[in-house]
């Protein structure tokens, strides 16, 4: 048996386990074991921290099903909170991910378990539509954008996110993060639900919020206030700054909350 000490965090209900350099060969199996909500600890993903020259840390994300994802906007805030706790300060962090470098700026709050973080999420780029997209049967009059933030997203504009069978649609294209969005209720806001690749329906998705805000602004569904769009998700709200820090780039702003330190034998 191998002893591991992990921390658990969530970003708007999107929950992650963080472990530092685990001496385990089969990390996909470890992720499936730990993230199982009935037979393990339970989480949407496992974040593995290792050293990387020139960076504060390398973050590798294993989804709950053991697959590897390039980046998670909620996950990297949780990762940064864990790293800040180990370092004992809230200085900006340069983190290497599967999508490249991401810079995280941290702000403590009155609650010692909660930090706010702004993450430079990189450039938004167009993608080809995913395989089997035609099987979704989307109304051709609906706005659709296929976008990358280092990981793949498909954003679909709908009339009411509450009535869409998101699970059924997500299972048709399980290798893409599928977001459905409706405008409002505020002029500068959208409401979003997500089916995430490797995890299923989650309460929030940070990179999905960025893709959705970008698409919604392009479609004219939301106006910018201070260059930001507010994204309402099942787990809470995040802010997305468009064209920041330069044209084509986006910054995600939201909380991360520490839940517990956990010791396990695997």
Per-domain residue ranges for the chain? Answer: 3-121+254-265, 125-249
Task: Give per-residue pLDDT as tens, 2-57.
Answer: 999 999 999 999 999 999 999 999 999 999 999 999 999 999 999 999 999 999 99
Q: Who contacts 120 (Cβ-Cβ below 8 Å, separation ≥6)?
A: 102, 103, 104, 244, 245, 249, 251
- CA-nearest of 187, 236, 234, 193 to 212 is 193
The C-alpha atoms of residue 170 and residue 201 are separated, in whole angstroms, by 8
pTM over 0.85: yes
Q: Who contacts 153 (Cβ-Cβ below 8 Å, separation ≥6)?
A: 127, 146, 147, 176, 177, 178, 179, 207, 208, 211, 212
Per CATH, the architecture of 125-249 is what?
Answer: Roll (3.10)
- Give the class (CATH, top level) of 3-121+254-265: alpha beta
Please state, in angstroms and as integers, the Cα–Cα distance from residue 7 to each residue in 2, 4, 20, following that order: 16, 10, 10
- To the nearest whole number, what is the mean pLDDT of the chain? 96
Task: Give per-residue pLDDT as tens, 57-97.
Answer: 999 999 999 999 999 999 999 999 999 999 999 999 999 99
Sign of CA dihedral 88, 94, 100, 104: positive
Same topology, domains 3-121+254-265 and 125-249? Answer is yes
Two tokens, residue 123: 């450039």
Instruction: Please tell me the predicted confidence (pLDDT) of residue 11.
Output: 98
Whether the pLDDT of residue 247 is over 90: the answer is no
């Amino acid at each position: 048996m191998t002893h591991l000490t992990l921390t658990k965090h969530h970003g708007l209900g999107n929950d992650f386990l963080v472990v530092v350099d685990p001496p385990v060969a089969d990390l996909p199996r470890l992720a499936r074991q730990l993230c199982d909500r009935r037979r393990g600890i339970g989480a949407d993903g496992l974040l593995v921290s290792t050293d990387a020259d020139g960076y504060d840390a390398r973050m590798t994300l294993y989804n709950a099903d053991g697959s590897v994802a390039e980046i998670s906007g909620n996950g990297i805030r949780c990762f940064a909170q864990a790293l800040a706790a180990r370092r004992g300060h809230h200085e900006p962090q340069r983190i290497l991910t599967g999508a490249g470098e991401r810079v995280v700026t941290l702000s403590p709050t009155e609650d010692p378990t909660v930090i706010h973080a702004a993450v430079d999420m990189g450039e938004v780029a167009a993608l080809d539509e995913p395989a089997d997209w035609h099987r979704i049967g989307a109304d051709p009059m609906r706005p659709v954008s296929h976008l990358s933030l280092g990981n793949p997203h498909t954003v679909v504009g709908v009339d009411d996110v509450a009535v869409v069978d998101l699970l059924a649609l997500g299972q048709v294209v399980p290798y893409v993060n599928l977001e459905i969005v409706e405008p409002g209720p505020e002029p500068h806001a959208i409401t979003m639900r997500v089916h995430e690749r490797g995890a299923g329906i989650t309460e929030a998705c940070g990179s999905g919020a960025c893709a959705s805000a970008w698409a919604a602004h392009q479609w004219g569904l939301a106006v910018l206030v201070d260059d930001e769009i507010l994204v309402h998700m099942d787990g809470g709200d995040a802010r997305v700054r468009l064209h920041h820090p330069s044209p084509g780039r986006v910054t995600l702003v939201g909380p991360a909350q520490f839940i517990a330190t956990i010791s396990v034998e695997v």
